[in-house]
Amino acid sequence: MNSERVAGDLRRLDVGAVSLNEPLARHTSFRIGGPASVYVQPGTKEDLVRTLDWVEGQSLPYFVLGQGTNVLVSDQGIDAVVISTSRALRYVEARGQTLVAGAGVLLTKLAHKAQQASLGGMEFAVSIPGTLGGALVMNAGAHGSEMRDVVWEMVIWQPKAGLRALAPEEAEFSYRRSAFMTHAWIAVEATMHLDPKDPPAILESMRHHMAYRKKTQPVGDPNAGSIFKNPEGDYAGRLIEALGAKGWYVGDAEVSAAHANFIVNRGHATAHDVLSLMRRLRSAVFARYAVQLRPEVRWIGPGEGGFEATWENLWCEAGEGLQGPCG
């Protein structure tokens, strides 16, 4: 990709701020990641759609990034146009018993907006870092609730089709998965249908959830949230902690002392450090319990699957020697 030409064309489109070789470590909660060849921050929803239409029309590789809270970006970065939703899609409005919000709005803000509108059902989201868009992709959840419990309708951008409505059943929500992972869809907006509730009661629930998060998770250290999905009938954190793995480290990547299913960046951790530590944990859990942990964090970097190489490929390429299939 001719980065300078692409950046120049985007600037002439006047869709927002454009930069070259932008370090993605600045835009991920892990504080890890190499440069994006071209990084653009559209200013409005219309600018975002124009950017997506143009990039797709030019057959350019692209990736849409929210707050970067559930991703691990390669140290080599990505040779692509990275499109940020941090400015264009941060709106939220209460309409009767619904909240209509852009995919770039923070879940914490969404929960507080619901509380102010006397609407219950979003309390669980107050303790989840990241944006609505990322939460839809991952069907994020906490405290026994998840996004599929509240989403009523979505607006997505689809290549060659532009904006269209998407019903919840089309999203095929399941545990930490959705059809967004297998389709070239970009979440633009969502409507949440909620129930009337007393604001003080909502606030009390949110305070409880935040207190629990601060007590059980490494809130002050750069991290990407839960590293592995919970295996059926068990918890990844319990299995890892039972190994005595809290405190295990590779470089500046360390298994958190607060929660064993979190890896924290102690200062200068690289994606290679994190991958190596994940492989060590995964192999150790399989060796002792014959349970294969599946990553919850998304890998963004070179591989057979493009920017999001399958974890199976990464495990196999590593030659980690698991006692079972490398997937």
5-32 pLDDT per residue, tens = 999 999 999 999 999 999 999 999 999 9
Judge whether residue 217 has pLDDT over 90: no
Return the number of other C-beta atoms located less than 10 Å from residue 219's C-beta: 13
The CATH architecture to which 92-214 belongs is: 2-Layer Sandwich (3.30)
Indicate the SS3 state at residue 178: coil
Residue 205: active-site member = no
Q: How many whole angstroms separate alpha carbon 52 and alpha carbon 62?
A: 8
Q: How many whole angstroms separate alpha carbon 257 and alpha carbon 190?
A: 36
pLDDT at site 319: 46
Q: pLDDT for 146-162, tens place per residue? A: 999 999 999 999 998 99
Lowest mean pLDDT among 172-181, 185-194, 259-268: 172-181
Phi/psi-derived region of residue 69, left when phi > 0, alpha when psi is between -120 and 50, beta in every other case: alpha
For 2, the token pair is: 């001719």
If you classify domain 236-318 with CATH, what class do you get?
alpha beta
For 265, the token pair is: 């960046």
Residue bearing the bigger pLDDT, 223 or 127: 223
Domains 92-214 and 236-318 share a fold: no
Residue 177: active-site member = no
Q: What fold is seen in the domain 3-84?
A: 3.30.43
First to last CA, the chain: 32
Q: Which of 176, 279, 282, 298 is catalytic?
A: 176
Calculate helix-pair angle for 271-289, 311-318, nearest 10 degrees. 90
- Among candidates 288, 295, 298, which has minimal Cα distance to 239? 288
Q: Which of 37, 226, 256, 283 is catalytic?
A: 226
Residue 320: active-site member = no
Q: pLDDT confidence of 114, banded at 50, 70, 90?
A: very high
Return the number of other C-beta atoms located less than 10 Å from residue 317's C-beta: 12
pLDDT at site 315: 58
Judge whether residue 289 has pLDDT over 50: yes
**What's the pTM value of the predicted model, to 2 decimals?**
0.86
Domains of the chain: which residue ranges?
3-84, 92-214, 236-318
Judge whether residue 265 has pLDDT over 60: yes
